[in-house]
Structure 1
Amino acid sequence: METLAYRFEHGSRALPAQAQVVGVVGSGNLEVLIESAPLNGACAIVIKTAAVGFGATWEAVMRDFHERWQLADTRIDINDMGATPAVVSLRLDQAVQTMLGDEA
């Protein structure tokens, strides 16, 4: 297992207070836990993955996600069992859309 951590400053979109879990950890999939947290406008992401050595790919996917959503005061935990970058992006978008509801 590898643990990766990313922090993106100066987000502009706050999420509601409730936490959400999206996805299921299993062969080739992942789960995303997303919640509001007092982070001075930042978005902090921690990834625990079974796919060791893909830090550059994870960073690119996380940067793309942050550029798309610009989340502020948000903590995201990802538990991964080998999901592809497309599935990671889909699950992250699904988590934000679930929290935002009609605002998304």
Structure 2
Amino acid sequence: METLNYRFENGTHRLTAPPEVVGVVGSGNLEVLIEPAALDGACSIEITTAAVGFGPIWEAVMRDFHARWLLADTRISINDMGATPAVVSLRMDQAVQTMLGDAP
């Protein structure tokens, strides 16, 4: 297992809904927990993954996510069992959309 941590500053969008979990880690996929947190305007992301050695790919996916949403005062925890970057992006977007009330 590997744990990766990212912190993005200068977010502009604050979520106020209760914490939300999307995905199921036991399915061989991943789960995302997203919650409001007092982080001085930052977005903090912690990833625990079984796929060791993919830090640069995770960083690219997290940077892309942050550029799309610009979250501030948000904590995100990801438990991964080898999901592809496309699935990671989908689940993260789904978590934000669920908190915003925009989920299908």
Tell me which interval the TM-score lies in, with the shorter structure as reference length. over 0.9
Contact 2:2 2:51 in 1 (8 A): yes
Partners of 1:86 and 1:41 lie apart in 2 by 27
Structure 1: 4+ residue segments shifted above 3 A: none
RMSD of aligned residue pairs (Cα, Å) = 0.9
SS at match of 1:51: coil
Contact 1:24 1:30 in 2 (8 A): yes
TM-score normalised according to structure 1 size: 0.95
Ranges in structure 1 where 5+ consecutive residues have no aligned partner: none
SS at match of 1:46: strand
* Bigger mean CA offset, 54-63 vs 25-34: 25-34
- In the alignment, residue 98 of structure 1 is paired with which amino acid? T
1:60 matched residue in structure 2 = 60
Q: Deviations over 1:43-82 (max 9, x none)?
A: 0000000000000000000000000000000000000000
SS at match of 1:44: strand
Query: How do 1:1-104 residues align onto structure 2 when only pairs under 5 Å count?
Result: 1-102=1-102
TM-score normalised according to structure 2 size: 0.95
Deviation at 1:27, TM superposition (A): 4.6
Residue identity over aligned pairs, in percent, reads 79
- In the alignment, residue 53 of structure 2 is paired with which amino acid? G
